[in-house]
Amino acid sequence: MIGSNDFCSKDFYMGGAQERVQVGTMPGFIQVGPIQIPVQVPVYEARSNEALNALASCGHIMGNASYMPADRGSLTLGMRFFDKRLDVGARLRYSEGNGENLDTHGFTQIDQALWPQYEVYDLYASYWMTSSLNLALSMENVTDQAYFVAMGDANNLSLARGRTLTGMLEYRF
């Protein structure tokens, strides 16, 4: 990844952190069948906590720069035949990620700022049968790789589509 994503932010960036403090007790009872047992019940109050208001964390999911995208790119190689009527090619989509790979990272906590490395291969072909009729086929993710698109959706850790075959018939008039 180009650069670093080690930014820090306050956990309670608008302040207002509170803690529960016991301020006393009051009489109460516990009902056990027909019997009432008298007990002292604690009474709590929410009080401002300046130490929590000042607490800053680095690298967490809601940090102020937690969603920096991972670097990614693609390489497309293709060839044209029959006076450019047939177009065939392959594409490599790659991201080095900016976190751990799926093989070594358990994702025990949702941390959307970690995008695993991936490389995905696609194939495509397009044939103009006449000057106005085109038949095209493409297969994305030929190796059926499970991966997250880096910053494809920052609020959803859904895997990208698996192997997908798409066909198109185009008629121009």
Beta pairing partners, 9: 57
Identity (one letter) of the amino acid at 134?
N
pLDDT digits (tens, 9 = 90+) for 74-109: 999 999 999 999 999 999 998 877 665 555 544 444
What is the pLDDT, as a whole number, of residue 124? 97
What is the pLDDT, as a whole number, of residue 7? 60
Closest among 117, 11, 120, 129 to 59, alpha carbons compared: 11
CA dist., res. 109 & res. 107, Å (int): 5
State phi, psi for 111 to the nearest 5 degrees: -130, 90
pLDDT digits (tens, 9 = 90+) for 102-119: 555 444 444 445 667 788
Take residue 9 and report the two structure tokens written for it.
């932010």
What is the pLDDT, as a whole number, of residue 107? 47
CA dist., res. 111 & res. 126, Å (int): 40
